[in-house]
Amino acid sequence: MCFKNLPIDFDAAGNATLRPGAMFNYTEVPAPTLIEDDPERMRELFARNGEVRRVDFDPVTRVAGALAFHTVVDLENRQVLETASMATLFRGYEIILKGRDPRDAIFISSRACGVCGGVHATASALAVEMAFDIKPPPMGIVARNLLLGVEYLYDHPIHLSLLAGPDFSEAAIRETNPEIWERARNTRTQGAKTHGYEMMSDLMTDLTPLTGKLYLEGLYYTRLAREAYVLIGGKYPHPQTVVPGGVSTTIDASDLNEIMLRVVKYFDYGRKTVAIWDDLSEFFYEINPKYRDIGTRPANMIEPGQWDDPYAYDAKYANCDEWGHERWAPPGVIVEGQTLTRDLSLLNAGVEEFVEHAFYEEWAGGGTSNEFYRHKTDPKGVPLSPWHPWNKETIPKPDATSWKEKYSWSTAPRWDRLAMETGAYSRIWAAAQTGPDAYRNSRHLHSTGHSMQIHLPKAQLPNPMIEWKVPETWGAFERNRGRAYCILYPAAIAYDNLQLAYDLLKKGGPDARMSTPYEVPKDHRIGVGLWGAGRGYLTHHLEMDNGVLENYQILTPSTWMASPKDPFGNPGPYEEAVLATPLLENYEKPEDFKGIDVLRAIRSFDPCMPCTTHMHMDGRTVSRDIISCACGSDGAPGTHEHH
């Protein structure tokens, strides 16, 4: 039905079985010899073209600042010849959590990220709920939905205004493509009535870090959403009230009013942001159609879905396909732009993690001796691979970095052995393709099968229907544009859930309780939290016995996208996207190259935290601060002007 590479078949009734006589074995494809490891080829290239260079970005802000990126570029032909994505930090939460009370995981795992700790807490709570077999009351589910909605209203402006936005600011454009800046000064925007900028140059000026109005406005809206979050979560980024069975706090009408006052402010801000990124995307496409190729790769995405229906969700894996379909953001596995499955059980069963190019020991026989492993099927009987997270063991094995062998602390997650990306855009993409007959009933969201229509009440700006359409081409600009539409998407869902919360408060009774009492089971259990973060897919898989955790595995969006090559020779999403990126910046000699198009491609997947980027170019090292200076990396900080 949906697997092409895994040995899983389906009978006439749609039941999944392991193909007769088959195993999940694989044969590793030897890594090709890298250009810089082949002196003869390097000499040949350099003799033919003296502008072949190794350019390393170390670190790049993606995984709490702990990502390095290696490239070999041909500056004469303006192409990237070789890429390697390197996660440089080992965290070890899976090891820390072994032997602990499962409830500790909610509070410990939220520390995995200082940007999106709330979603880790909830994903952990979902996994514990499934293992404990407890169903939260409707108000407890609605409260967690509200937490998630306002968390994204904080997260998305960070990406668009503070991290990705500066790459399109006046300073960046003037430094890397002055001819585009001159064009911007003479080009009128299309969305002036919505965002207020008549000229493209004015819009770019206000994207300038620290001083630009759009940058400062983004800071304001990140604060506003966090103010709403702590009314239920207690604090952020590490909430104290998310527990198995709901939330450990109370909500009254005044709390909901305070949240509502903040959520409605995103109706206009979201419209304005959409208009800005529509203008930026179309302006660059008109300047040079090759900008569509920045960061391009196949539209292969994975999305577990989020925002549970308060009456459909029961925390049981046996029913996960049914309650997954009822989510405001339904699950979806998308291959070549088309949704293959919306079933959470199949999405979960298709996941594997490989470590051939990561600093870990293989736990399943290196692709061959895999008949002895713990979980051969999921609780519904769907076959599982030895490399599935429920079977995974985290065994760190640090070693010297080798681009041909092991070079990253990230594993290589794959679905049906395909490299998948994930993000806020995968969430709205899966929802858009669900279609009007299958998408849940919502007063503010309508899925057409090829688009998501968003209908919100009027604030101050005119309020025509906003429609995000599945794009024809997929690359960096569409990732950022999609993220802009994803401000209105969670705003609409938060508004839906606020109305539900008011109704539940009015009715009272058991449905208005905040949590369900429980006891910690002492027998063997497994569970999974199938959830997401601002930048996409997030799951927590656990196994427990005697009241403590035996195994705990966290699979994050950045692990999917920053992954190294897999044993089949396929690059990770960052690597693949940068490899396809044309180098369109304006440089006269190799020393002038700043790598802005490479950075735009990587950052479009969503940087996690701001930090300093260092760029190593042969024997030369130059550095810049991404946030305080977005105008390039040539020279020490402070050697150029901002206007």
| Annotation: CATH topology of 8-625 | Cytochrome-c3 Hydrogenase; chain B (1.10.645)
In the structure encoding, which two tokens stand for residue 625, read together? Answer: 């601060």
Is the dihedral angle over the CA atoms 456, 460, 463, 468 positive or is it negative?
Answer: negative
Residue 513 identity: R
> From start to end of 336-401, where are the E strands?
338-341, 351-354
Structure tokens, 272:
């304005």
Query: Would you state the pLDDT for residue 48?
Result: 61
In this prediction, residue 61 carries a pLDDT of 54
Give one DSSP letter per residue of 130-197, joined into a string: HHHT----HHHHHHHHHHHHHHHHHHHHIIIIIISGGGGSHHHHHHH-HHHHHHHHT-B-S-HHHH--
Residue 609 has pLDDT above 50, yes or no: no
- Which tokens is 18 given? 């392991």
Burial of 294-328, coded b for 16+ CB within 10 Å and e otherwise, reads: bbbbbbbbbbbbbbbbbeebbbebeebbebbbbbb
3-state secondary structure of 551: strand
pLDDT value for 620: 38
- Give the pLDDT of residue 262: 98
Distance CA 121, CA 230 (A): 14
Note the pLDDT of residue 36.
63
Least confident of 41-50, 241-250, 482-491: 41-50
- 10 has a pLDDT exceeding 80: yes
Is a pLDDT exceeding 60 seen at residue 275?
A: yes
* 5, 19 contact by CB (below 8 A): no
Q: How far apart are CA 97 and CA 398, in angstroms?
A: 20
**Maximum average pLDDT range among 108-117, 371-380, 573-582:** 573-582
CB 67 within 8 A of CB 578: no
Region 276-304 average pLDDT = 98
Residues 6+ apart with CB under 8 A from 641: none
Look up residue 447 and give its amino acid. S
Residue 111 has what pLDDT? 86
**What percent of the chain has a predicted confidence (pLDDT) above 70?**
89
Backbone angles phi, psi at 135, to 5 degrees: -110, 125
Give every CB contact of residue 105 below 8 A, 6+ residues apart in sequence: 97, 124, 127, 128, 540, 542, 549, 552
- Per domain, the residue ranges of the chain are 8-625
* Tens of pLDDT, residues 483-541: 999 999 999 999 999 999 999 999 999 999 999 999 999 999 999 999 999 999 999 99
How much is the mean pLDDT over the chain? 90
Distance of CA 332 to the CA centre of its chain: 14
At 618 the pLDDT is 45
Long-range Cβ contacts of 369-378 (<8 Å, 24+ apart): 370/23, 370/24, 370/25, 371/23, 374/543, 375/526, 378/317, 378/345, 378/348, 378/349
Calculate the dihedral angle through the C-alpha atoms of 262, 266, 269, 272, rounding to the nearest 10 degrees.
-170
Residues in the chain: 643
Q: Give the pLDDT band of residue 241 (cuts 50, 70, 90).
A: very high
Whether the per-residue pLDDT at 628 is higher than 50: the answer is no
- Cβ neighbors of 95 (< 8 A, separation 6 or more) are 394, 396
Q: Is the dihedral of CA 133, 136, 142, 145 positive or negative?
A: negative
Q: Are 221 and 266 in contact (CB under 8 A)?
A: yes
Beta strand pairing status for 338-341 and 525-533? unpaired
pLDDT of residue 141: 98
Residue 268 has pLDDT above 50, yes or no: yes
The CA-atom distances, in angstroms, between 377 and each of 222, 384, 388 are 42, 5, 10
pLDDT over 90 percentage in the chain: 78
pLDDT the model gives residue 368: 61
pLDDT band at 170 (very low <50, low <70, confident <90, very high): very high
pLDDT of residue 383: 96
Q: Which residues contact 301 (CB under 8 A, 6 or more apart)?
A: 332, 333, 334, 420, 421, 422, 423, 425, 426, 429, 430
pLDDT at residue 136, rounded to an integer = 98
| Per-residue model confidence (pLDDT) at position 62 | 37
pLDDT at 616 over 60: no
Say if strands 246-247 and 620-625 run parallel, antiparallel, or are unpaired. unpaired
Mean pLDDT of 195-211: 97
